Amino acid sequence: MLDIARAEITNGIWLCRNCHKVVDRDAPAHPADLLFSWRADHERYVLGNLGSASDRVRPEANPSYLSEFDGYPPVVKRILLDKPLGWEWRLTAELLRYLNGPVLKRLNDLRGGYYTVPSTHIDDADAISWVNSQLHEMQKLVQPMSKVLDRLTASWGELGEPGDLTEIHHSCLLLRDALNRAVQHEEQIWFVDIASDYQHLADLLRDVIGSQIGQFETLPDSLYEVVALIAGDHPGTKEAPHIIERTLTFTLPEKWENQFTKEMRRIVHKNGGQVGGKTMSGFWSTFWTIAFIVLLIIVIF
């Protein structure tokens, strides 16, 4: 967690000096969920015993949409209740951290070789078709991510207008699903049983997408950096808003295309100009390559 997020009032709890020391000295015994629970219990106590008649019923009058976030980290509901400055970006950051965390952890475990799944066997006659299908699948995986980020940006609202909570949540769920499909695709490539002649091609396909989607892990911190700028000095005005761009660039590894083309030519030559019983004439034009797909998140003040 960045210092700006840790210092937020939404993330705060008020303790006496003695209790403050106890919590700080034994953090494992006082996880965030426990501290948020203490805060919620204390707020209910204060409203019920010290507040007005309307204050006493306020806890029961919480917005119905909060139930949509049952099971989410307490800070999510806290942001929705407090609605601090820049709540749209704060909420997005916490949703992305919570929803994408398990998916990105699974990707890192896959890349580190910490688990395995049953391998899929590919016959020699189907090997090139399998390689081609993986390339096209990569294209299909990346395009929705760009659209979802555009939708997420729009969900934050026009300049001076509040964001759309439902759209923010839905966009974050869509992004989680897109990342999950990307990791599943990586698993298909990592755990494949293919003839040795085609193994190098399969190895070249490994981690082409996985190495790129790791960029999404940094988005929550980037959004909190935006929040810090909102709360401080920035050159933006209503007439001339300040625009921040966070760019995610999807590109192929260095020299990947040359290596892939060289390996394909070796296989074609070895098979006398045919692979899997099919001529290679015009085959290259059907191959899709990943090239500098740029995803933008634009925040306007």
Q: Which of 10-19, 133-142, 236-245, 283-292 reaches the highest mean pLDDT?
A: 133-142
Start-to-end CA span in the chain (Å) = 24
149 Cα distance to chain centroid: 10
**HSE on the CB side for 251, CA within 13 Å?**
8
Is the model's pLDDT at 169 over the cut of 60?
yes
Would you state the pLDDT for residue 7?
63
Mean pLDDT of the chain: 79
pLDDT band at 286 (very low <50, low <70, confident <90, very high): very low
Would you state the pLDDT for residue 158?
80
pLDDT band at 46 (very low <50, low <70, confident <90, very high): low
When pLDDT is averaged across residues 115-120 and rounded to a whole number, the result is 94
Smallest CA-to-CA distance from 178 within 220, 149, 204, 155 is with 149
pLDDT band at 270 (very low <50, low <70, confident <90, very high): confident
Would you state the pLDDT for residue 116?
94
When pLDDT is averaged across residues 196-214 and rounded to a whole number, the result is 91
* The dihedral sign for the CA sequence 67, 71, 72, 76: positive
Instruction: Give Cα separations from 281 to 85, 168, 265 (angstroms).
Output: 60, 48, 12
When pLDDT is averaged across residues 161-190 and rounded to a whole number, the result is 94
Higher pLDDT, 211 or 278: 211
Is the model's pLDDT at 160 over the cut of 80?
no
Q: Where are the beta strands (DSSP E) in the chain?
A: 120-121, 192-193, 243-250, 274-275, 278-279, 293-300
Percent of the chain with pLDDT over 90: 29
When pLDDT is averaged across residues 24-31 and rounded to a whole number, the result is 78
Would you state the pLDDT for residue 85?
82
Would you state the pLDDT for residue 111?
94
Smallest CA-to-CA distance from 133 within 95, 185, 197, 61 is with 185
pLDDT in tens, 224-264: 888 877 767 767 666 777 777 777 777 778 888 888 888 88
Instruction: Give Cα separations from 92 to 65, 112, 164, 244, 245 (angstroms).
Output: 16, 28, 11, 16, 16
Would you state the pLDDT for residue 51?
61
pLDDT in tens, 50-73: 666 555 555 554 567 788 898 898
Smallest CA-to-CA distance from 86 within 11, 163, 140, 19 is with 163
Task: State the DSSP string of 224-235.
Answer: HHHHHHHHS--S
pLDDT band at 2 (very low <50, low <70, confident <90, very high): low
Spatial separation of the C-alpha atoms in residues 119 and 28, rounded to whole Å: 40
When pLDDT is averaged across residues 171-190 and rounded to a whole number, the result is 95
Would you state the pLDDT for residue 181?
95
Would you state the pLDDT for residue 284?
38
Is the model's pLDDT at 187 over the cut of 90?
yes
Token couple for 79: 């942001």
When pLDDT is averaged across residues 117-144 and rounded to a whole number, the result is 88
108 Cα distance to chain centroid: 13
R_g of the chain computed on alpha carbons: 25
Is the model's pLDDT at 104 over the cut of 50?
yes
**Secondary element (H or E) of residue 144:** helix 127-155
